[in-house]
Amino acid sequence: MADLAAMLPTGASATRIDLVLVAGMVEPGSRVLDVGCGDGALLRLLREGRNVDARGIEISQSGVNECVARGLSVIQGDADTDLADYPDDAFDYVILSQTLQATRRPRVVLEHMLRIGRHAIVSFPNFGHWKVRARLAFGGRMPVTENLPVSWYETPNIHFCTISDFIDLVNAIGARIERVVALDAGGKQMRFAMPWWVWNLFGEQAVFVLTRKP
């Protein structure tokens, strides 16, 4: 994993450690679609570090321009509307990195991901983290933290969930959890096989690998 981390642009490794984690979950040489790929940091990591046929969808023009200028196959599009155009099983992995909470219909997006990819990898900020809970419980205000820095009236994140909420959604759509990793506030993987409620309290970010149930 260390070699992947070294490929991130300087200064990015601390903030987007989840990208390194996600990239490490992808089989080398596979076909990947990154939904909400931003400036293409993960796609580059996958292309250069994992020899992956990496494609992306990004909603912002500046993000797409940057990706295409770097030679990545990225289209300008919207996770909520454009996933429907992809055929079944088009990819080995469909990745939604820190974007689920910004979609209008997370359930539909997740269902499409599982349809067009053999695996879906979803990373999201855990709204059940103790700092978030404390902020709301004792501050009485919508949480603004290091990882969630935008005020409620400006945030693009309209569908926050906790790790437990997400597991409910996975069950509701009948998917199977292949692997879960939670990262603590320091960006470190939580090491021990702890019960869900502990992850839900101390995990700041979560990464799920899902598949369809056979």
Partner 1 sequence: MAHWQAIAPAAAQEVEHPSSLVVEFGPDRPLALDCGASLSPFTIAYQTYGELDAQRSNAVLICHALTGDQHVANVHPVTGKPGWWETMIGPGKPIDTDRFFVICANVVGGCMGTTGPASRGPDQVKPWALDFPVVTIRDMVRAQAMLIDHLGIDTLFCVAGGSMGGMQVLQWAASYPERVFSAMPIATAARHSAQNIAFHEVGRQAIMADPDWKGGHYLLEGARPEKGLAVARMAAHITYLSEPALHRKFGRKLQERDAPTFSFDADFEIESYLRYQGRSFVERFDANSYLYLTRAMDYFDLAADYDGVLARAFGKTRTRFCMVSFTSDWLFPTADTRAIVHALNASGASVSFVEIETDKGHDAFLLDVPELFATSRGFIDSAAHARGLPPAREA
Q: Is 88 in the site for partner 1 (CB under 8 A)?
A: no
Among 76, 145, 155, 157, binds partner 1 (CB under 8 A): 76
Give the shortest CB-73-to-partner 1 separation in angstroms: 5
- Distance in Å, CB of 53 to partner 1, minimum: 8
Question: Which uninterrupted H or E stretch holds 43?
Answer: helix 41-50
Nearer to partner 1, 48 or 168 (CB): 48
Return the percent helix, strand and coil in the chain, to nearest 5: 40, 25, 35
Question: Among residues 113 and 207, whose Cβ is nearest to partner 1?
Answer: 113
d(CA 11, CA 27): 26
Judged by CB under 8 A, does residue 78 bind partner 1?
no
Of the pair 45, 206, the CB lying nearest partner 1 is at 45
Which H/E stretch holds residue 2?
helix 2-7
Does residue 73 sit in helix, strand or coil?
strand
| Residues 122/210, Cβ–Cβ less than 8 Å | yes
Contact positions toward partner 1, by CB under 8 A?
Answer: 53, 55, 61, 64-65, 67-77, 82, 85-87, 90
